Every structure is written in structure tokens, then in C-alpha cells.
Structure 1
């Protein structure tokens, strides 16, 4: 009985925090509800999934925009040069990396614009429209993120290891800092891809149980 009363209090506090747009307090209250030994209602479960969706989107935004920014600022010039040549490695020397920067910027921009729809699912956990809209666009941008990350991975691999058959030379022995930056950007992009997959799975489960 006491646990049930505590749950009602935490839910009430969460609703007040939601109305005041104090989402951190709302998340904390819902965590307290989850820690109680009381079965959650369907609405509370859906709201919990929606809150997790919002948090994952924030993480995906950080990963996608971080990947784009890291790749776009990757540049290294060797300290020696000749009268006619300067040895420099930059992302804009590779069309694949240019595509990567543009694609991840679009992905990050979409994720930012998707946040209001995620908030709607928190406020109205039974609404199916926003979830359906998000799962469709999430799938589209997951494809874009995956393709750009995979393409960049191939070039990063060649930069590290080269390919004798196609006369690709491994440049990472000379351009170590450049290779570290582009490798970090690729890792961040795959983090965004994983978060996208989790978002789609969660949204699909929520729609299935609608």
C-alpha cells in the first residue's frame, strides 16, 4: 500500500515537472517509479520508453555532429616541403570524406528537428502518429548514416594499411594525427548508427504494443 502511494506521488511530481518543461526532474521521478516494487501501468511504460527515446536522440545528436565536426576539421601538414610540393592531408582531399561530413551533418540536423516529436510522445504516450513518423524518418536517416560511415571506413582502412594491388600507399605512418581524427570520426558515426537502431527497435515495440 505504501509503495503504491509512493508511486502515485512520484508520478504526480513527474507530471508537474513535465508541465513545467523540467525534463531532468521528470526523468528522475520516473526512475524512482521504476525502482519501486510496483507494476507500472501501460501509460507509464510508454512514457518511460518515450523518455528513453528522447535521451538516446540526444546521444545520437552528439555522436553525429561530433563525427561531422571531427572529420571536417581533420587536417595535417608535414613540417617539410619542397619548392613545388607541400605534403598535406585534409578531409576535402577525399570525396568520400566530404560525403561523410555532409551526410552526418544532415543526420545530426534531422535528429535535432526530431526532438519536438519525441517530446510529443512523452506528453501523449498513446499517440501513434508521432511514433510512426519518427520510425519512418529514422529508417531513412539510418540508411544515410550507415552508408556514409561504411564508405568512410573503407578509406580509413586504406589510409592505415594501403593496398598494393591498387597502388594505394598507407599514409598513416606519416600523417598520424590526421588518421587519428578521421578514425575517431568514423567511430562516432557508428555510435550514432547503433543508437539509431535502438531508437527504431524501441519505436517499433511501442507501436506493436499500441
Structure 2
């Protein structure tokens, strides 16, 4: 600051740098930038669920296809000395077993068709539409496979133990091979139903934690 006195006049010179600094202090501070951060852990968790879903579908295909083929190829003829009198047991003699084969064949076919959608879920783990579609059809397959396995299991129980009140005799003492195969098919179908339950739980959890 320079002060100069000339015949009763006083001149005050203010440097420009001081005025600029004053204006800079008076100017409002710039608003902080908000940077959106993504959560890679959440996306990784979704992808892990999708991969596990794909593996479970492969296991369910093996279980339901084994159940359908085992039951569908089951028959036994008891050997006798004469060819005119023969006793034969086949799966299509009982409507419950026929329904069992159809239901498990439909379930295995659906699982094969659902594999591409499951792969899309791995590539795009945040796609909720595909997950919801699979959830709806998985619930339907749970009901179908459980109903068919339960109906077949009731017939298998009667074949093993009979029912004295209804005068139904156990046939597994004579048709041992037939009963073993249908029992194996029923167990495989229940395994497929349990896997479908796990698939439903996985899809529900993935949709819940979006």
C-alpha cells in the first residue's frame, strides 16, 4: 500500500492482487463430486449363485432322466415250464407308473431347455426377468415330480408289503427284479424333486437380494 501526500490530498493505491484474493475468498466453494461406486462383491455373489444353479440343473437332468428310463424299461416275465402260461409285470400295467414316466420325461426335457437360460444368468447375473421365469417353471416341476414320485412310491409300497385288508398280496417275492428297478426309479425321482426345491430356493434368494 502506497501513501502519497500532495497538498492536502491523500491517494491510496490498492494492489490488484489483494482485490483478487478477496474475490477468491468470497467466491463459494465448488460442490464436491459424487462418484458412484459399484459393489463387485455383490455381482460376484450373483454369478456364483448362477453357476451353482447351472450345476444343479445338470444333476437334476441326470436324476429325472434316469428315473424315466429306468421305469420305462422295466418289465419282468416269470419263467415257467410251459410257454402258454406266463406271468408278466410291466410298468405300463399301472397308470401310476405311466404317469411317473411321463412326468419325469417332461421334467428332464424342461431342464435341458432351461440350460441356455441358466447360462444367460451366469453372463448377466443381475437379469431378474430370466431368474423369475426359471423360478415359476421350477415351482411347477417341483409339484409335477413330487406328485409322480409319491404316486409311484405308494404302488411300490403295496408291491413290497401288500395289503391284507384289501386282500392285495405282495408281488415282490416273485417279481424281485421288477420291484428293484421301480424302487430305484422312485428314489431317483425324489432326488430330482429335492434338487428342484434347491433351485427354487436359489432363485428366490437371488431375487430377494437384488
Scaled by the length of structure 2, what TM-score is found?
0.79
Per the alignment, residue 142 of structure 1 pairs with 142
CA distance in 2, matches of 1:57, 1:83: 46
Count of residue pairs the alignment pairs up: 172
> In the alignment, does 2:178 pair up with 1:178?
yes
CA distance in 2, matches of 1:134, 1:83: 52
> In the alignment, does 2:93 pair up with 1:93?
yes
> In the alignment, does 2:54 pair up with 1:50?
no
CA distance in 1, matches of 2:87, 2:122: 53
Deviations 1:110-141 (A, max 9, x none): 01101111111100000000000000000011
Deviations 1:19-39 (A, max 9, x none): xxxxxxxxxxxxxxxxxxxx9
Q: Which shows bigger deviation, 158-167 or 179-188?
A: 158-167
Unaligned 5+ segments in structure 1 are 1-38
Structure 1 residues 134, 81: closer, same or farther in 2, change over 3 A? farther
Per the alignment, residue 64 of structure 2 pairs with 64
Unaligned 5+ segments in structure 2 are 1-38
Per the alignment, residue 196 of structure 1 pairs with 196
Are 1:81 and 1:87, in contact at CA under 8 Å, matched by a contact in 2?
no
Per the alignment, residue 131 of structure 1 pairs with 131
Deviations 1:14-66 (A, max 9, x none): xxxxxxxxxxxxxxxxxxxxxxxxx9711111000000000000000000010
Q: CA deviation at 1:81?
A: 5.8
Q: CA deviation at 1:80?
A: 1.0
CA distance in 2, matches of 1:81, 1:130: 61
Instruction: Give the alignment's Cα RMSD to 1 decimal.
Output: 1.4
Structure with max Cα Rg: 2
Describe the SS at the equivalent of 1:89. Answer: strand
Q: Higher helix fraction: Structure 1 or Structure 2?
A: 1
Aligned positions of 1:109-124 closer than 5 A: 109-124=109-124
Scaled by the length of structure 1, what TM-score is found?
0.79
Q: CA deviation at 1:82?
A: 5.0
Per the alignment, residue 76 of structure 1 pairs with 76
